[in-house]
Amino acid sequence: MEQIIPAGAERVWEAISSPGNLELCHPFCASNPVQVWPGPDSKDEVHYLSGWVYQREFRQWIEGVGYDLSIGRHGGGKSSVSWRIRSIDPRHSALRITVCPGGLQHIPVVIRWVPHLLRLRPLMRSYLESVVKGFEWYITRHEPVPRNAFGTHPWFSA
């Protein structure tokens, strides 16, 4: 999911690379405690409004460009997530979040495409759309995004 943001790439990087940034920018995040920050060994948690707690472990940190991480519940399956910033011009950039879900990996490939296409993909798209819009909100308005600002989500809302 990609969102064009009317701000330079430096400002978008500042928002996505700040410790605890999800508390300000993520519409389904109740809290975002940080264990280690910044860099490729960063670790934090996402406490969702629904009560779910996911741990994020950063694997790659590309200064000014983005990062790659794995996310999932403690002791559960992990998904891979890539965050990237693309400069369009000095006053516009694009923020892209890409997820490779890990939750269905135990199901044979031929079978897992059905739940992926019918349920997982539409819900993940809706979720990512809300997240990138939340970052745009924070970056352009300089105020925290309200909880569930772009609608509720069955996995992550209260």
Whether residue 93 contacts residue 12, with contact meaning beta carbons closer than 8 Å, is answered with: yes
Positions of E strands within 102-153: none
Local confidence band at 121 (pLDDT 50, 70, 90 cut-offs)? confident
Average pLDDT of the residues in 40-63: 98
Share of the chain above pLDDT 90, in %: 82
pLDDT digits 0-9 by tens, 14-36: 999 999 999 999 999 999 999 99
pLDDT of residue 50: 98
Task: Give me the mean pLDDT over the 39-55 stretch.
Answer: 97
The answer to which of 82-91, 100-109, 110-119, 134-143 has the lowest mean pLDDT is 110-119
Q: What is the mean pLDDT of the chain?
A: 92
Q: What is the CATH number of domain 2-141?
A: 3.30.530.20
Between CA 57 and CA 78 the distance in angstroms is 10
Of 5, 25, 23, 19, whose CA–CA distance to 142 is shortest? 25
pTM over 0.85: yes
| Cβ–Cβ under 8 Å, residues 31 and 51 | no
Confidence category of residue 112, pLDDT binned at 50, 70, 90: low
Q: Contact 43/55 with Cβ under 8 angstroms?
A: yes
Report the pLDDT value the prediction gives residue 141, as an integer from 0 to 100: 98
pLDDT(153) > 70:
yes
- CA angle, residues 87, 89, 92, in degrees to nearest 5: 75
**Which H or E element spans position 102?**
none
Per-residue pLDDT for 116 more than 60? no
* Cα separations in angstroms, 80 against 4, 25, 32, 33, 57: 22, 20, 18, 20, 10
Mean pLDDT of 113-138: 84
For the chain, domain boundaries: 2-141
